[in-house]
A and B are shown apart, each in its own frame.
Chain A
Amino acid sequence: MANPTIFERLDKLDRRIYYWLIVIVITWPLVSPIGLPITVKPSTRALYDGLTAVQEGDVVLIDIFMSVSTWPECMGGLVVETNTLLDRGARLIYVGNSVDVSRSWERLNELVPRLGLLEYGTDVVFLGYYTGADAAASQMAVDMSSIFPADHFGTPIDDLPLMSDANSATDYAMVLFTAEGEVKWIQQWGEPYGVPVAGMGIAMKGSALAPYLASGDIFGLAVGVRGAAELEKLAGMPAAATTTMDAISSTHLLFVILIVLANLPIIYNKIKGGS
């Protein structure tokens, strides 16, 4: 190799140095934010437009698939979705497929205090945890009460007025997924019953869901914390996701610099060997 010193030295560099470097580049913008501008992607706008098109009294099912570990990625988006839907007068039903969903529900209530002011059972219901993936979703589509005989707090479903209007898929105006587990809603609710599906996915869903987005199986998608920040911008309520964006910028820059550095010797050798 022509210039071995720097690359070889980088190669032998203790990995812990990289790790400390990350800690530093994340901490810095968190302590003193830069506030780089954020542009909104079309799929996020489509989601937001769908949310604002909801009519007063429409019932929306929100699947909090995320576990507490995914909060930094998806909670911001869930908050905007909830606020926007409440502004439109929609009635919301929450379910979740993660064992810690009750914790996510509590956190959502902390972040959207007006959820607690609504009349529970009429305007909003938290049904709680379900398991059984696709089988459960497909069963919910025909009879909600068989999967949830009672809500999370033990109130029988018959005592919740909202649930009598919302026992099967056709009663719902929309399903929103959070983080993951979206395919079962597309396959078991969207496709057979025509319920519009959309939501807030972890960043990888930006790739995995692109075909569904293109074929119209989902009408909108916010991708990861970036999507959450875009939603916050659209709704005019900057919060946690917007703050995170600077740290995203700095770490992403570091990441690309390292990849470029790693590949310089290869490119150099190719050019030298080729000529």
Chain B
Amino acid sequence: MFAVIIADYFFAIASLGSVAEVLRQFAVVISNIALGLGVISLLRIHGRNVQRRLEGRWLYSIVTIITFVSVFLLGIINTNGDQYTWAFNHVYTTLQQTMYASTGFFIVSSAYRAFRARNIDAGLLLIAGCIVVFTNAPIGEVIWSGFPVIGDWLLGPGQLPGYRVLMMIAGFGTIVYAYRVITGNERGFFGGGE
């Protein structure tokens, strides 16, 4: 699979192109079907909790299972139905946004507790970070007009070499990774971890 797609990228051969096209389509279908994997593991974990009447957990696990089953059935019957849309808009959307935003709290408490200039490296990171914070917030400019000037430089050329290298490293890493998977050196996929 790898070879066909790579070859299609480099060589202008028509028949190869259509094989690569079919393969890519296959990959899309498989990844779609695989979305259900998480569901099975969810039902297994919570099903077990209920079965064992795990103290303080099993009632909640029932909530999870009931929520899952009812919303899933509603959705399968009619995705545009009122109940499904309602659950989607008001329960799912809300929880999604809320959970995602909750790290905002932790960042602030960590700002006092965890972010210390332990050494020059961390110090530099914190200084650059704070300048960017004041560049992003309009108040920075009010405090000192220099913040956005330095900040814009940091956001442009300042961070560029560092990021450029992190990106190149990621690129090199991908190639090594591809090689290791193809040659069977990467345990994760084919060794299954045994």
* Chain A contacts to B: CB under 8 angstroms: 10-11, 13, 15, 18-19, 21-22, 36-39, 41-42, 67-72, 100, 103, 130-133, 135-136, 138-139, 142-143, 146-147, 192, 203, 206-208, 210-211, 214, 223-224, 226, 245-246, 248-256, 258-263, 266-267
Contact B112 A266 (CB under 8 A): no
Q: List 18 A-B contacts (CB under 8 A).
A: A13-B112, A15-B113, A19-B108, A36-B138, A38-B138, A69-B96, A69-B101, A100-B88, A103-B88, A131-B32, A132-B31, A203-B136, A210-B156, A223-B155, A226-B136, A248-B136, A262-B115, A267-B117
The distance in angstroms between the C-alpha atoms of A147 and B21, with both chains bound, is: 11
Contact A142 B88 (CB under 8 A): no
- Shortest beta-carbon contacts, A-B, top 10: A132-B28, A249-B139, A36-B138, A252-B137, A69-B100, A258-B111, A135-B27, A139-B24, A258-B112, A69-B96
CB A171 to nearest CB in B, in angstroms, measures 17
Q: A131-B35, A249-B137, A262-B112 are in contact. List 6 more A-B contacts (CB 8 A).
A: A18-B105, A36-B141, A69-B100, A131-B31, A131-B32, A263-B116
Knowing A38-B138, A224-B136, A248-B136, the reply to whether A142 touches B112 (Cβ < 8 A) is no
Contact B130 A18 (CB under 8 A): no
Q: Is B25 an interface residue (CB 8 A)?
A: yes
Q: Which residues of B contact A41 (CB under 8 A)?
A: 152, 155
Q: Is B107 an interface residue (CB 8 A)?
A: yes
Q: Which of B54-62, B64-72, B158-166, B184-192 contacts A (4 or more CB under 8 A)?
A: B158-166
The distance in angstroms between the C-alpha atoms of A19 and B9, with both chains bound, is: 51
Give the residue name and chain of the A residue nearest to B143 (CB): A253
Q: Which residues of B contact A18 (CB under 8 A)?
A: 105, 108-109, 112
Q: Which residues of A contact B17 (CB under 8 A)?
A: 142
Q: Which residues of B contact A11 (CB under 8 A)?
A: 112-113
Q: Is B104 an interface residue (CB 8 A)?
A: yes
Counting chain B CB atoms within 10 Å of each CB, the highest count among A18, A41, A255 belongs to A255
Q: Which residues of B contact A266 (CB under 8 A)?
A: 116-117
The distance in angstroms between the C-alpha atoms of A139 and B138, with both chains bound, is: 42
Q: Which residues of A contact B164 (CB under 8 A)?
A: 211, 214
Q: Which residues of A contact B88 (CB under 8 A)?
A: 100, 103
Q: Which residues of B contact A15 (CB under 8 A)?
A: 109, 113
Contact A210 B160 (CB under 8 A): yes
Contact A261 B138 (CB under 8 A): no
Q: Which residues of A contact B108 (CB under 8 A)?
A: 18-19, 21-22, 251, 254-255, 258
Knowing A68-B93, A146-B21, A211-B167, the reply to whether A255 touches B111 (Cβ < 8 A) is yes
Q: Which residues of B contact A10 (CB under 8 A)?
A: 112
The distance in angstroms between the C-alpha atoms of A251 and B109, with both chains bound, is: 12
The distance in angstroms between the C-alpha atoms of A67 and B99, with both chains bound, is: 13
Give the residue name and chain of the A residue nearest to B151 (CB): A41
Q: Is B126 an interface residue (CB 8 A)?
A: yes
CB A127 to nearest CB in B, in angstroms, measures 14
The distance in angstroms between the C-alpha atoms of A266 and B100, with both chains bound, is: 33
The distance in angstroms between the C-alpha atoms of A210 and B88, with both chains bound, is: 36
Knowing A22-B105, A248-B137, A252-B136, the reply to whether A139 touches B92 (Cβ < 8 A) is no
